[in-house]
């Protein structure tokens, strides 16, 4: 594993034989390590890079950033220094919005750097959100919601020390989500695939089509089995989609 100089990104499987790259943006309260299931399932030649927001894991002593656009700016600056490889971007939940804004920045500063955007488990940028009230919830109520979401939430709750470290980051991310407003008509110019969990109570299949106006290129959505953290149990299928998108980009 290797990190960039400022700690914004970690390459989990760096190597000179990499032919493609997948850059992953984590959910609210999450970290780069949230994508270990994808790393374990990654085929040869696919480098997986996780984005690390300030205020968690090796960046826990840094002040939190409670602005989606500022998170995108930091990630974009760090990733612009990466060596050229055909690249897809994946963002899950809050990470889908940070990824969306990061790709928009790249389009201005390094056209062609990204070949495909995967937005997972998230309502579209233009849709209303409820995180303004979640930032004021008690710890007990936040823990109850994590338990209801299952998957990663269950694993976090079972580790009390990790949970206590994650709660402040989660509140900060809720504030970032509550304050987020996309630019009018904000869209990307790359193909966009929206991934949703069939049983996701936060951003289920009924929300997927709302992403359509946010790309000028090809659009599709896939419904996968599972709840909000459906990526963990569908890693192999997701990676097949990523590889296919980079080898055979879809036509508009």
Active site residues: 93
- Candidates 200, 237, 211; CA nearest to 99 is 211
- Contact present, 95 and 26 (Cβ < 8 Å): yes
- Quote the distance between the C-alpha of residue 226 and its chain's center: 17
């Amino acid at each position: 594993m290797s990190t960039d100089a400022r700690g914004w990104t970690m390459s989990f499987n760096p190597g000179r034989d990499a032919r493609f790259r997948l850059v992953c943006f984590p959910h609210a309260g999450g970290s780069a390590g949230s994508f270990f299931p994808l790393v374990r399932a990654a085929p040869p030649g696919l480098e997986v890079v996780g984005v690390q927001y300030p205020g968690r894991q090796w960046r826990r002593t840094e002040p939190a950033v409670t602005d989606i656009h500022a998170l995108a700016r930091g990630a974009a600056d760090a990733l612009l220094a990466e060596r050229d490889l055909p690249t897809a971007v994946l963002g899950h939940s809050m990470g889908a919005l940070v990824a969306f804004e990061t790709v928009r920045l790249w389009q201005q500063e390094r056209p062609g750097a990204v070949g495909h955007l995967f937005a997972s488990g998230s309502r579209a940028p233009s849709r209303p959100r409820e995180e303004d009230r979640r930032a004021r919830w008690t710890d007990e109520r936040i823990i109850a919601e994590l338990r209801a979401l299952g998957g990663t939430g269950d694993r976090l709750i079972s580790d009390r020390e990790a949970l206590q470290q994650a709660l402040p980051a989660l509140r900060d991310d809720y504030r970032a989500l509550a304050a987020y407003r996309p630019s009018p008509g904000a869209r990307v110019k790359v193909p966009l695939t929206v991934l949703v969990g069939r049983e996701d109570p936060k951003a289920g299949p009924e929300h997927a089509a709302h992403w359509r106006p946010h790309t000028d290129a090809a659009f599709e959505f896939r419904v996968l089995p599972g709840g909000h953290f459906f990526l963990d149990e569908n890693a192999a299928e997701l990676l097949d989609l990523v590889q296919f998108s980079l080898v055979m980009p879809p036509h508009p």
